[in-house]
Amino acid sequence: MRKMVNWTALSVFVVFFLLVTIMGFLAARWRRGDLNHLEEWGLGGRRFGTVVTWFLLGGDLYTAYTFIAVPALVFGAGAMGFFAMPYTIVAYPFVFLVMPRLWSVARKHGYVTASDFVKGRYGSGTLALVIAITGILATMPYIALQLVGMQAVIAAMGITGKGLAGELPLIIAFAILAAYTYTSGLRAPAMIAFVKDLMIYITIIVAVIVIPMKLGGFGNIFHAAATALPAHKPPGSLILSPKLFSAYSTLALGSALALFLYPHSVTGVLSSSSRSVIKRNAAMLPAYSFVLGLIALLGYMAIAAGVHPKVTSMAVPLLLLKELPSWFVGFAFAAIAIGALVPAAIMSIASANLFTRNIYKEYFNKHATPAQESKVAKIVSLVVKLGALFFIVVLPLQYAITLQLLGGIWILQTLPAVVIGLYTRWFHRWGLLAGWLVGMVVGTSMAGASGFKSSTYALHLGGSVIPAYAALWALMANLIVAVALSVAFKAMGVGQSHDKTSHHDYHEEGAPTTV
């Protein structure tokens, strides 16, 4: 451990971390329910109203990794890092149109996961299984990368070291997270999200006012960035180059389509108390996108401030340390760390829901009681967190980054079965399964062509070269195969399984909205 520990920042950090720890354990008593039932532990009893859902989804989608990685990308590459802005804006009309249908059919039939819906819609345990496995695989590295933000702020406060001593603060923090998630379920991150989001908003407002004043204004910041970015390796730019337009736009579109297919996003949606809550949140959540744009600007501010991190993930922490007083830095670092705990908790719960409902109950104990389901989910949530911790502590960080890159490609391959399935059952279950497999292989191969360093792939069509997000190329292949085989299976007279849902299920309103 280094001697130059910033004790002021560390003290403030510890105070706020202890505050959310206490809140996490008290959450078990908030809106009391029987936590021995999976719907209560893993979905908060489906009783979260507009305000709670807004904070929960905001805490779920705008994470510590977002706070660290987006400005880090802007710091290194410039304009390309702003792709997160359009993608989060495009995502919400998608949510407004699609997610109320999923909520309605899930509430009607007691579905806890997207795979539950797929099983009921297509009558295929195999298709439901691959959707569940895809969700878990895509989520695991996402949890691990939340630790990157926490690692960055812990190191910035001077707490470093080799081996177990260096990782001990991270291990303790995740052990506490595991404990209160086990006892309180989804209620814990829902309650903590209030504090996390408030702290993030305060941090960003102060940063975008104070830091530009100290750096000579935004004009000077943009000038410094425009001068420095072309010298980076690889070169960056303040304005997006025309040759990157297709990669930028497809990356934004594909990411938008994938965002609410992730299990943790589905969990946040299904915990809502009504369709109206989801629609109101789809209208209000773009407020977070505005904040995301301000967060991204921190990358340019770090360039203008003359920050020289060894790794770009340290750009924001070093910027805050250099330009803001230590006591406020402790507050900001606590916001980032708490911003890791909230999504990590939701992601582990979502993965546990998938395993319990679609693997354990389907293949190991078909007659599992609600108490058994809840117990298995709690244990699996611990295992998932342990796996994420293993990724960061034992394996090189690049492994988690690579798997996260692949996770976005993989999760988009569940769109035909989940999203299109909400509107039509025209696709044959075996066609969807084959399409999923082709999409997974094509997407993984395209990412592998770059050595898993990029999620874009340049497709050669005639004399044209079109660089685009590999997930979208893979989705196109997925849909072509699914359509072709669905036509073929129907022509051969291969029948569909029983659909447990009805047209009315997708439009039914639920219980009255609560706060």
Instruction: Tell me the C-alpha distance between 343 and 59, whole Å.
Output: 6
What's the chain's Rg over C-alpha atoms?
23
Q: How many CB atoms lie within 10 A of CB 172?
A: 11
**What values do phi and psi take at 104, rounded to 5?**
-65, -50
The residue with tokens 């360039």 is: 303
Both tokens of 342, joined, read 């909230």
Positions in the chain short of pLDDT 70: 1-3, 161-166, 397, 508-515
What separation in angstroms does the CA of 248 have from each of 39, 67, 89, 205, 242?
A: 39, 20, 14, 28, 10
**Contact 118/424 with Cβ under 8 angstroms?**
no
Q: Tell the burial category of 164 from Cβ atoms under 10 Å away from its Cβ (0-12, 13-18, 19+).
A: exposed
Distance (Å) of CA 42 to CA 35, 126, 188, 261, 380 = 9, 23, 11, 17, 12
What's the angle, vertex CA 457, arms to CA 454 and CA 460, rounded to 5? 155
Which amino acid is it at 179?
Answer: A
Q: What's the rounded Cα separation, in Å, for the pair 151 and 253?
A: 30
Cα angle 479, 484, 489; round to 5: 125
Name the token pair of 85.
Answer: 């802005």
Distance from first CA to last CA of the chain, Å, rounded?
Answer: 45
Alpha-carbon span 177 to 386, nearest angstrom: 11
Per-residue b or e along 295-309, where b marks 16 or more CB atoms closer than 10 Å to that residue's CB: bbbbbbbbbbbebeb
Query: For residues 41 and 267, what is the distance between their CA atoms, to the nearest angstrom?
Result: 11
Task: Name the superfamily (CATH) of residues 8-397.
Answer: Sodium/glucose cotransporter (1.20.1730.10)
Closest by Cα among 91, 84, 64, 65 to 296: 84
pLDDT at 414: 97
Q: Which helix (H) or strand (E) holds 390?
A: helix 370-393
Q: How far apart are CA 381 and CA 347, in angstroms?
A: 9
User: What's the pLDDT tens digit per position in 294-327?
Assistant: 999 999 999 999 998 888 888 999 999 999 999 9
Q: What integer pLDDT is reported at residue 509 of this predicted model?
A: 64
CA distance 197 to 209: 18
The tally of CA atoms less than 13 A away on the side-chain side of residue 21 is: 16
Token reading at 179? 């404990």
Question: For residue 355, what are the CA distances in angstroms to 102, 366, 403, 440?
Answer: 20, 13, 19, 20
Distances (CA, A) of 130 to 133, 212, 267: 5, 49, 18
Q: Which of 258, 284, 351, 257 is nearest to 58 (CA)?
A: 284
